[in-house]
Amino acid sequence: MIRESDASYIAGLFDGEGSIQYKKYPEKKRSGTYNCWRIVMEITMTDRSVLLWILEVLGCGTLTKKPRKGLRKDGTKYLTQWRWRCSFRDAYYVCCLIFPHAHTKLPKIQQVIEHYARKKLEENNVVDFEHYKMKKEQK
């Protein structure tokens, strides 16, 4: 289980450096075009060690190197950026963890949580959060 202090620290990082995407986008499939949900959380920064720590503590998501483009106005190179990203049910898991500590991103976090709570009521195929946490801890 994640410590409360770690959850609040991650919430602060996410409020300052993170972004959350909760939106429907059209996707082309073989049988036509459908509106599909995109639920993605990410934090981008130049300090790779912090994002590695987040990946380790949360036990979900991916860490990738973000490509740099161009040079600064003074001709120097940009620092390498790293991106931690999770989506869909992993994003739901993270939202539930940081919900009590978030401020800036709270409206989007609430949308993600309500999305999965609503789905659970409509369909009985969504795993409940406590069961999901237990499975994550067993890994």
Domain CATH for 121? 3.10.28.10
> For residues 102 and 11, what is the distance between their CA atoms, to the nearest angstrom?
5
Number of domains in the chain: 1
**pTM of the full structure:** 0.77
Mean pLDDT per block of 10 residues along the chain (139 residues) reads 93 95 87 87 95 96 89 87 95 95 94 85 58 65
CB count in 10 Å sphere of residue 88: 15
pLDDT of residue 120: 60
Range of the domain at 49: 4-68+77-138
**Per-residue pLDDT tens for 17-56?**
999 999 988 888 888 888 888 999 999 999 999 999 999 9
To the nearest whole percent, how much of the chain has pLDDT over 70?
A: 85
